[in-house]
Amino acid sequence: MSQWLGDRGMGAAGAQGTARRLVALAVVVALTVGGGAAAVAAQDSAADRAPKTITIGESNTAAQQEELLAAFGATADDRVTTVTVADTAAAMEGIYDLAGVDSAYSSTALACRAVGAGLTVTTRNIEVVGPDLYALALVTAGIGDAELVVAAPDEDPALGMTALTGVFRTWDLAACPGAAADADRQRLALETLALTVAIGQEQAPDDGVTRATRLVLAAQQALVTERIADPAAIRRLVAVQAAASGVLLDDDRRAELEDLLARLAAADLDWGAYAGGWTISRDPVANRVTMTGRPRAARTAARADPAPADPAPAAARTGVGGVAAL
């Protein structure tokens, strides 16, 4: 097993020993405790699951690491690494202000799936970013076939803003077959996530991020499927989808969203199986979504809905000032 847990701030031998002990304990918990945290990872049969790349936020205690590894269904075949506050600050520089943030609890487990299988995203103790938004960010980054679990420990729920930085940090070491991810796409994905949350937190506190996610999902899907690139058409697209999603945009946020969509169009990205749009199925009880692509040829028979159904809401906070758990 490739051991990266505690690769910063610990000696190599100590890090490897800690990782071995924690994974062993996690496997025991996963095998002996029914339901609860261990159930998060039980989405596919063990025989069908590829080895996972697991990232653990550095602020988690040893007991919390054990809890998260159990939730992820960690095995001896999985790679485990630590993601630090410095890692997330570097990845989010110029995208999201991490001033005052001094901890990192968000953790992830990513397993590749067969090409064409689509995405499954589950969240656990993540209070702002919903699984819909993570799925959109993964597709934007060029990752279309994977199973992702984003989690924080029970005692320290997290916003989830920086969870994907760990996935992208380790991507070159465990890239999925058929994925088209690169640094530029990853940055666009992080920008999409951060801007969506910013828009959502300026709306009504109960479901603002949910409605903002609906707006960005619908706008980006139309951009991709209709190959919209003209600035005037992008402005109309944003106006229509904002109204349909019940999102109020001030001039600055409207301009930011239009600029992001324009850059996505200009990048001429390969959307692969998602070029014809996507279908999202939701399990609100499990905080899980499944996202599958539609081939572009299928658009003539089944056109994408202009406004997808409401994403399963995350318990969004009204702001992030002073919040240190990401």
DSSP 43-97: TS-GGGPPPEEEEEETT--HHHHHHHHHHHT--TTSEEEEE-HHHHHHHHTTTS-
pLDDT score for 326: 65
* In the chain, % of residues over pLDDT 90: 66
In angstroms, the CA 46 to CA 118 distance is 18
Q: Taking 60 as the threshold, does the pLDDT of residue 307 lie above it?
A: no
SS3 226: coil
Alpha-carbon torsion (71, 313, 168, 12), positive or negative: negative
Which segments of the chain are extended strands (E)?
3-4, 52-57, 79-83, 107-112, 119-124, 146-151, 278-283, 288-293
- Top-confidence residue, 10 or 76: 76
pLDDT, average across residues 57-84: 96
Task: Characterize the bridge pairing of strands 3-4 and 79-83.
Answer: parallel
In angstroms, the CA 18 to CA 5 distance is 7
Contact 83, 163 (CB under 8 A): no
pLDDT, average across residues 87-99: 90
pLDDT, average across residues 194-199: 96
Tokens of 209: 């991020």
Q: For 138-184, what is each residue's pLDDT tens digit?
A: 999 999 999 999 999 999 999 998 899 999 988 887 889 888 889 99
pLDDT score for 177: 87
Q: Taking 50 as the threshold, does the pLDDT of residue 73 lie above it?
A: yes
Distances in whole angstroms, Cα of residue 291 to Cα of each of 29, 152, 229, 283, 311? 30, 23, 24, 12, 12
Tokens of 189: 């994905």
Residue located via tokens 């989808």: 241
Q: Residue 104 is which amino acid?
A: A
pLDDT score for 325: 60
Tokens of 32: 């002996």
Tokens of 86: 């410095």
Q: Taking 90 as the threshold, does the pLDDT of residue 213 lie above it?
A: yes
Element (H, E) at 168: helix 163-169
pLDDT score for 204: 78
Q: How far is CA 117 from the centre of its chain?
A: 17
